[in-house]
Structure formats: structure tokens, C-alpha cells
Amino acid sequence: MSTLEIEQIPTRTDNYVYLLKESGQGRVGVVDPSDAAPVIEALDRLGWQLTDIINTHHHNDHTGGNLELKEKYGCMVTGPLADHDRIAGIDADVGDGDIFMLGDAEAKVFDTPGHTRGHIAYWFPESKALFCGDTLFALGCGRTFEGTAEQMWTSLGKLRTLPDDTSVYCAHEYTQANAKFAVTIESGNQALLDYAEKINALRAAGQRTVPSNLGLEKSTNPFLRADVAAVGAAVGLSADDPVSVFAEVRLRKDNF
């Protein structure tokens, strides 16, 4: 039993990198280091010693800091088995159903292909924390660069089974733009309208909207709701065929 202290580091234009310190052995992991410098700065400020790099997928804005951090701290790099050849410095592979241990803190790994074919997510049940990279965003989801709509819908379906009180630590601050799109799909969803208003207020005050809450996402995020009648109707399709609804919603967002 070990819980995480989580430090959120904004990098580049809209990335979030996360430092995780577990209480058992004091190991410190970084999730998806886009760049080394902001991570080193945060580690120095907190007085933490990096032991692990934890990657969700191969994109440069999630792995760009891997080699420099590995060289500096001699830390261990864990990443998706399916993307072994595309993760710089990878030491350990994990895939669907595997348990990843950051010291004594246990994470369950899910394969979440769609954005990339090897994308994975890490869920730390004791800390109620989900690190989902570019699969699930607050009110959005990743673009399906390397996968199909069906794969992405299935991947999001896995994350949707997690408890409502899960915090969603996604990798980008895209929420306000996502909200603007989401209300075009479910203009009659009061929970969504309230959430969108809250997001606008947070951004106007220069504040972050991430982490999100999974229960809130389940009731408002159109990409988790392709099997809800109102979402199907909004795109002129039946929610009995959620893959088609999801594909159409994703396409509309791509062109929004």
C-alpha cells in the first residue's frame, strides 16, 4: 500500500508532465517527459531524486526528455511493449493487464490503441489516479492517428469502467477547445453546460482544468458517450451502433 504525491508540470504550449513520488520507498517517476529541463527544475525545487520514466506512447512531446533524464539520473524507462522500438531508452515493457510497480505503488496497465497503435494507460487504484496520455482528455480524446475509431472506442470503454472518483491526469490542456465542440453535440446536457462554464471561468483566471474527474467525464464527454441516444441523434445515427457514432463525432471534431 503506497500512495502518490503528484506534481503537475506544464511544458511546451499545452503539455502536462507529471512527477509521482510514492510513499513506500520514496521512488519518483515522471510520466511522459516532453523535455528534460522543466523536469530537472521541478525535481531540484522539490528535492526529489528521479528513479523512473513512465511513458504512455512514443510521440516526441511525451518522450523527448527520456534520454537526457536517463543519462542524468540513471533511471529506469518503462513503456508500451507494442512500441518497444519507438520509445527512446526503454528498459521494461508493459502491456494490457500487467501490473507496474513504482516502488510500492501499484498501477494497472491498459492497452489503449487508437491515437497510436501502442498507446497504454496507467491506473493507480490506491491513489485514484489515471495517467492516460493522449487517449482520454477532459471533454475530448486523442486523434486516431494510427488506429481505427473502433479501437479508440474500445480503448475508451476500458477507461470508462474505472470508478467515478478517479482523477484523470491527461497529457494536454485542451479542455476549453474541447468544451466548445462538446456543446455542439449535446446542447441539452445540463451537466456539460455547467462544466463548460466552469472551464471558461478557470481559463479566464489563468488556471488549469486538469486533472479532470472520471465521473464527470462519463456524464459530459461526447467521446465516452457514443452509446447514449442523445449523442447518436446529434449526428443523425443510432446509438445502437456506437462505433459509427464515435467515428462521426471524432470526424466532426477533426474538422471543427
CB of 62 to Fe ion, least distance (A): 6
Residues contacting 108, CB < 8 A, separation 6+: 97, 98, 99, 100, 122, 123, 125
Nearer to Fe ion, 61 or 248 (CB): 61
- Applying CB under 5 A, the span of 44-52, 60-68, 69-77, 227-235 interacting with Fe ion comes to 60-68
Query: How far is the C-alpha of 225 from the C-alpha of 205, rounded, in Å?
Result: 29
Nearer to Zn ion, 35 or 186 (CB): 35
Catalytic machinery residues = 57, 59, 61-62, 115, 134, 172
CB of 15 to Fe ion, least distance (A): 6
CB of 61 to Fe ion, least distance (A): 5
Cβ atoms 132, 141 nearer than 8 A = no
Q: 33: which 3 cell numbers? A: 517527459
Q: Are strands 28-31 and 52-54 parallel, antiparallel or unpaired?
A: parallel
Nearer to Zn ion, 14 or 106 (CB): 14
- Give, as ranges, the residues between 127 and 166 that touch Fe ion (CB under 5 A): 134
Distances from the Cα of 236 to the Cα of 74, 83, 171, 246, 254, angstroms: 54, 37, 31, 12, 18
Which of 128-144 are b and which e, b meaning 16 or more Cβ less than 10 Å from the residue's Cβ? bbbbbbbbbbbbbbbeb
Nearer to Fe ion, 134 or 248 (CB): 134
Positive or negative, the CA dihedral 214, 194, 180, 238 is positive
CB of 161 to Fe ion, least distance (A): 24
Residue 186 interacts with, from Zn ion, Fe ion, none (CB under 5-8 Å by kind): none
**Which element (helix H / strand E) includes 201?**
helix 190-204
* Residue 61 interacting with Fe ion (CB under 5 A): yes
Number of shown-chain residues binding Fe ion (CB under 5 A) = 2
Residues forming contacts to Zn ion in the complex (CB under 5 A) are 59, 134
Site string for Fe ion, 14-33 (x = CB under 5 A): --------------------
Give the binding site for Fe ion (CB under 5 A). 61, 134
